A = this chain, B = another copy of it.
Amino acid sequence: MQFIKSIEQQMIQWRRQFHKNPELGFMEYRTTAYIYRHLKKLQFKTFIGQEVMSDSARYGLPAKATLRHYEKTVLKQGEIESAIFCEIKDGFTGVIGQIKSKHSGPHSAFRFDIDALPITETTEKSHHPYKNNYTSTNKGVMHACGHDGHIAIGLALATYISKRINQLTGTFTLIFQPAEEGGRGAHAIVENGWLDGVDYFYSGHIGLNDLDVGTVALAANGFLASTKIDVLFKGEASHAGISPEKGKNSLLAAANAVMNLYAISRHSEGISRINVGKMIGGTGRNVIAPSSKLEIETRGETERINRYLTERALAILEGSAKMYDVSLKKEVVGQTNVVNCHPELIEKLFNHIQTDDYIKNVLKITDVSGSEDVSFMMNRVHNHGGKATYMIFGANIKHGHHHPSFDFNERVLTIALDVYIQALGIFNKRR
C-alpha cells in the first residue's frame, strides 16, 4: 500500500505519456524502446525482437510499405538507439522482462498489451485527455482501448517486483505484447515457448463492461473465439461509360459479399458476431473497379459457432466471386480462442484478495463479450499444467471501447496494481 501510494503519480504520468504517443500493432517502436529501457534499469533480463516472437507465427503483419513509412518517421524523431531499433524493426515489437528471486518458488507470468487503434481521437472539450493536454500526437491513432493504462500497470508492477525481489520467491515474467487488437501478436509469443512452464498467469483489462471503479472481477467469462480474415477480390477495369460490360466489377462483388456476410444466420447454440470493418474498392469514378478489399471478423461463443461463421463466410465470398467472375484471395490474419479462467486459481484469489483503500469490491467472475488473443497464452499455460486467469478492472467507462471519446478513470491503475501485488502475496511471497 505504501508502494502503491508512492508510485501512483508516476503511473498516471506514464499512462498519459503513452496516451499521447500511441502506436499501431507491430509498430510500437517507441513504446517498446521505452519499456525496454525501464525494465533494463530495474535489473530485469530483457528480451526483444525475434527472441520475443516467432517471425512466421505473427498474424496480420502490416504491409512492408506501411512498416517502412512509420519506421522512417520514428527514425527521424531520433529517439531510439540503433541497438534496439535494429532488433525490433520489421514488426518485431514487444518486450519480455524476466527476473528471478534467489528463493525458489513458482513461475508467475503477467501479460500487458501495448498497441493502439486506428481511430482519430475526439477534440470535444469534455474529453479528459483533451482538457489535460495529452491527446494523441500521432494523427489517426489512439489508445482507445486502455492499453496505455495496461503498460503503466506493467511498469509499476515491474518496479515493485524489482524492489522487493528479496522478499519474493520464484521467477517472474512480464510480457509486454504487441498487436493485441485483431488477435495478432500473442500467438507468435506462445510459439516461442514463453508460456511453457508458467505456473500462474495473469492478465486483465481496464473496463470492458460497466463495473464501477473499485470493483474487480477475478475472472472473465465469455470471451469469444474469433477469426480475422482479409479478402481481396480482383476483377478487371474498363471504362464505365464506353464499355461497362467488359469490366469485371470487384466493387459489386465486395458490396454484395458485405450484404450477405451480415445476413449469416444467428446460431442457436450461443453468441455469434460478424463484422466487415473496412472496405476499400476501386480506383476512379469512371472505371469499373478492378480490385476491392474487405477486412472481416467472426466471433463465436464456442469454437464450433465460430467455425460455422467462417465456413458460411467462405461460401459467401466464393459465391460472390463466382457471380462477378472475379478472383478471390483470402487470408486469415488473426485468431483468438475461447478463454477459460482456471476455477482453482479463481477460488484461491477470491479467498485471499482483500478490499482496502483501493479495492472496494471483489467479484469472482464477470461476463464480457469481446475476443482476446490472450486465449492462446492461457490455453498454453493450462496445457502445461499451469493456471491462468484474466481479470476485469472496473473503470466507469462512459464511451465504449474503440470509441473516439473513450476514456477511463485513472484510479483504476492503482487498483489493478494492488490486485496483482496481492496475487503475488499468495504464491510468491517469502514467509
Contacts and interface: CB of A to CB of B under 8 A. Distances in A.
Interface of A: 117-119, 181-182, 208, 224, 226, 228, 237-247, 249, 251-252, 254-256, 258-260, 262-263, 265-268, 271-273, 275-289, 292, 295-297, 299, 308, 315-316, 318-325, 334, 368-371, 400-404
19 contacts: A119-B237, A181-B284, A228-B285, A238-B400, A238-B402, A239-B402, A241-B273, A242-B369, A243-B400, A245-B268, A252-B263, A260-B323, A262-B262, A262-B265, A279-B279, A279-B292, A280-B280, A285-B334, A318-B323
Contact of A319 (B117, B241, B320): B320
A323 B320 contact: yes
A287 B228 CA distance: 12
A284 B277 contact: yes
A139 to B, nearest CB: 11
A27 to B, nearest CB: 14
A277 B286 contact: yes
Given A237-B403, A245-B266, A400-B243, A182 B316 contact: no
Given A266-B245, A369-B241, A277 B289 contact: yes
A279 to B, nearest CB: 5
Contacts of A368: 242
A117 B282 CA distance: 13
Nearest 7 CB-CB pairings of A with B: A319-B323, A262-B263, A240-B275, A319-B322, A255-B258, A278-B282, A277-B285
Nearest to A140: B283
Contacts of A249: 265
A251 B404 CA distance: 18
Contact of A278 (B284, B296, B297, B323): B284
B277 A266 contact: no
A323 B311 CA distance: 10
Contacts of A297: 240-241, 285-286
B296 A285 contact: yes
Contacts of A281: 278-280
A258 B247 contact: no
B239 A370 contact: yes
Contacts of A402: 237-239, 284, 286-287
